Amino acid sequence: MSGAPFRLAPLDAGCDRAGFNSGVESLDRYLREHVNQDVCRRVAACFVALAEGRRSVGYYTLASASLLLADLPASIGKKLPRYPTIPAVRMGRLAVDQMFHGQGLGGALLADALDRTARSEIAAYALMVDAKDEAAAAFYRHHGFIALPDSPFTLFLPLATVRTRAE
Ligand SMILES: CC(C)(COP(=O)(O)OP(=O)(O)OC[C@H]1O[C@@H](n2cnc3c(N)ncnc32)[C@H](O)[C@@H]1OP(=O)(O)O)[C@@H](O)C(=O)NCCC(=O)NCCS
């Protein structure tokens, strides 16, 4: 997304969200009407891509989560400690305004989420997502995410494989 006029930042009261339209009404309504409550209650953190005039043109949310060891592919699970659950961070939502689809912004938001999660001092094994449909799952697989064998719309990417940005 070289040269694109976007800035990624934590959501704040000055972000203009009124016209956000990803093509998925539930994701749009969440950004307009519900995300503030989740952020205030610390059940989600939200990061936005801002275009000129502080217009929100993309966003994602992060929250702590866990994966059941037994749900992971056997080849991965056998390399992890025998704890029943493995710590993870869930990217609960990811959406880009339709006017900006196909310009690299979704990939940039995902890279930002991975970088932010991999840099955290709080350990997590993976970034996980619940894809809402096959197209979303394909987007995540394209970026290296691995589907749970019995739940193909739940995907994860081990953070040890993520190269964080230089300070
Ligand atoms: C999914 C979504 C976030 C992608 O955003 P985007 O800005 O259009 O995607 P990008 O332009 O950044 O694409 C990045 C890469 O992913 C690929 N890609 C995009 N959508 C894809 C899909 N559905 N399947 C496979 N690959 C896909 C692109 O070809 C591109 O590949 P490249 O880097 O090798 O050239 C966007 O389409 C969206 O907001 N959709 C509606 C909400 C949604 O489905 N959210 C998913 C979370 S459940």
Which residue has its alpha carbon closest to ligand 1 atom 34? 142
Q: What is the mean pLDDT of the chain?
A: 95
Task: Tell me, rounded to whole angstroms, the distance of Cα 78 from its chain centroid.
Answer: 26
Q: What is the CA radius of gyration of the chain?
A: 16
Q: State the pLDDT confidence band at 2, using cuts at 50, 70 and 90.
A: very low
Pocket flag, ligand 1, residue 104 (CB < 6 Å): yes
At 97, the amino acid letter reads D
Pocket flag, ligand 1, residue 24 (CB < 6 Å): yes
Which residue has its alpha carbon closest to ligand 1 atom 35? 104
Instruction: Please indicate whether residue 140 is annotated as part of the active site.
Output: yes
Please write the tens of the pLDDT for every residue from 49-99. Answer: 999 889 999 999 999 999 999 999 999 999 999 999 999 999 999 999 999
Q: Is the pLDDT assigned to residue 1 strictly greater than 70?
A: no
Alpha carbon distances (Å) from 60 to 109, 112, 132: 7, 10, 14
Q: Note the pTM of the prediction, 2 decimals.
A: 0.95
Alpha carbon distances (Å) from 67 to 8, 64, 140: 28, 11, 17
